[in-house]
Structure 1
Amino acid sequence: MAHTAAKPARRADARHNAEKIVQAAVACLGRNAEASMNDIAREAGVGRMTLYGHFPSREALVEAALIRLLAQGDEVLEAVDLSGDPRDVLRALMESGWLLIAQAASVLQAAQAALPPNRVQELHAKPEQRVHDLIRRGQVDGVFRADIPADLMASVLHHILHGVAGDVATGRLDPTDAPRFVAQMALAVCAIPPTHAGLPAAQ
């Protein structure tokens, strides 16, 4: 009985350690995109053997940290009501998305340096799909331009968010202005040019 009871206890300890390590990775990488495995182990209060037992490489741990932040961000974006006027929804998504990008900027920088570009893109697929679907609905409703494919516009908005985050990080832009700017730029990208009104949607 004692041996049987010890196994769930060890599994619980392992889960607890893994959770501490991921939280520590988010914190360390959030302060410094080049944080080392030793930095993260110290932050988590675990030894190197425990750290590497859960995450065999820095790349694996960086990916776990990014996945954690994206999951937390997705919870925030899920709360945005997508049923209203697409222009109002886009503004809300961009403003919320900006806050999430700002919080995750350093971790994303670490991920871009450590992971293959296609993997980072894969991890962003869900939030980008949400924006794509909204843009497509706006095109069908006749409130967004239809001469440019929705996936291309969604990609442009993604780059706007990250570009603004970079400008804030380097001090070129006041962070209090960022939410307004990203929303205005997103709406400008999707707005129907006067000369394009009535054109068929791009496929």
Structure 2
Amino acid sequence: MAATGTSADRTKRADAVRNIEAIIDAATRTLAVNPDASVNEIARAADVGRVTLYGHFDSRATLIREVVDRAIAQTDEALARLDFDGDPRDALGRLLEATWHLTHRFGAIVVAASQVLPAEQMRRAHDGPAARVRRLLERGRTTGRFRDDVPIDWQISLIQAIVHGASSAAHRGEITADVAPVLVRDAVLAAIST
């Protein structure tokens, strides 16, 4: 004898999973362009109603936290696949170009997150990428490829500012997404190289 409701429960769960994924994907796309996007705009982009969205995420802040968590995980996964061997300048160039693509993809999510997440959580979101940059800067300083006459934390802050600034400039149409990775790489390397 089959259990009643099993097929319906599985269908309902599958629909819920699809809705959650659609909402997160839509929130990622929408917030990347407009950090002030409303729940209504996100629900419309996900092709679900507000009630459905709130059935899965109790607030806009909860949804943004989920978007940020996924963005961090995807960023870490993508950057972990990069080759950091060889000349530190070349390795940093590869890291900067990859970081640009990820930053541009997630765009203004950083702005949306900063509006709802505590500063400590925002800092932790940058810890993984910053640690990779720090290791390359330290290696480049040791080999004489990068300047060591300024604090390394300043160099990391400068790199973050250039990457985020390029993303904002691309969203405003001042530069194209195609040329931005090269501009980011060249600007950073010019600023930190010996």
State the TM bucket, normalised to the shorter chain. 0.7 to 0.9
Q: Structure 2: how far apart are the matches of 1:111 and 1:61?
A: 10
The number of residues matched between the two structures is 192
Match of 2:108?
Answer: 106
Match of 2:43?
Answer: 41
Structure 1 residue 18, shift from structure 2 partner: 1.7
1:16-52 residue CA offsets vs partner (Å, 9 max, x unmatched) = 3221210121122234322211222222233333312
Match of 2:186?
Answer: 184
Q: Structure 2: how far apart are the matches of 1:173 and 1:148?
A: 29
Structure 1 residue 131, shift from structure 2 partner: 0.9
Aligned mate of 2:27, from 25, 30, 34: 25
Once structures 1 and 2 are overlaid, which stretch shifts more, 79-88 or 22-31?
A: 22-31
1:120-173 residue CA offsets vs partner (Å, 9 max, x unmatched) = 222122111111111112223332223333333222201111112222323333
Q: Structure 1: how far apart are the matches of 2:126 and 2:7?
A: 40
Q: Is the 8 A contact 1:90 1:186 kept in 2?
A: no
Does 2:159 correspond to 1:120? no
Q: Structure 2: how far apart are the matches of 1:70 and 1:33?
A: 17
Counterparts in 2 of 1:140 and 1:160: CA distance versus 1, 3 Å: same
Amino acid paired to 2:115? A
Q: Which structure 2 residue ranges, 5 or more long, are not aligned?
A: none
5 Å-filtered alignment, 1:54-93, equals 54-93=56-95
Q: Structure 2: how far apart are the matches of 1:170 and 1:31?
A: 10
Once structures 1 and 2 are overlaid, which stretch shifts more, 91-100 or 60-69?
A: 60-69
Does 2:173 correspond to 1:171? yes
1:50-95 residue CA offsets vs partner (Å, 9 max, x unmatched) = 3123211111212222332333333332222011111001111111
TM-score (norm 1): 0.80
Q: CA RMSD in A?
A: 2.4
Q: Structure 1: how far apart are the matches of 2:127 and 2:16?
A: 30
Q: Which structure 1 residue ranges, 5 or more long, are not aligned?
A: 193-203
Q: Is the 8 A contact 1:87 1:143 kept in 2?
A: yes
Q: Percent identity?
A: 40
Q: Structure 2: how far apart are the matches of 1:107 and 1:90?
A: 24
Counterparts in 2 of 1:17 and 1:175: CA distance versus 1, 3 Å: closer
Q: Is the 8 A contact 2:83 2:91 kept in 1?
A: yes
Q: Structure 2: how far apart are the matches of 1:45 and 1:116?
A: 30
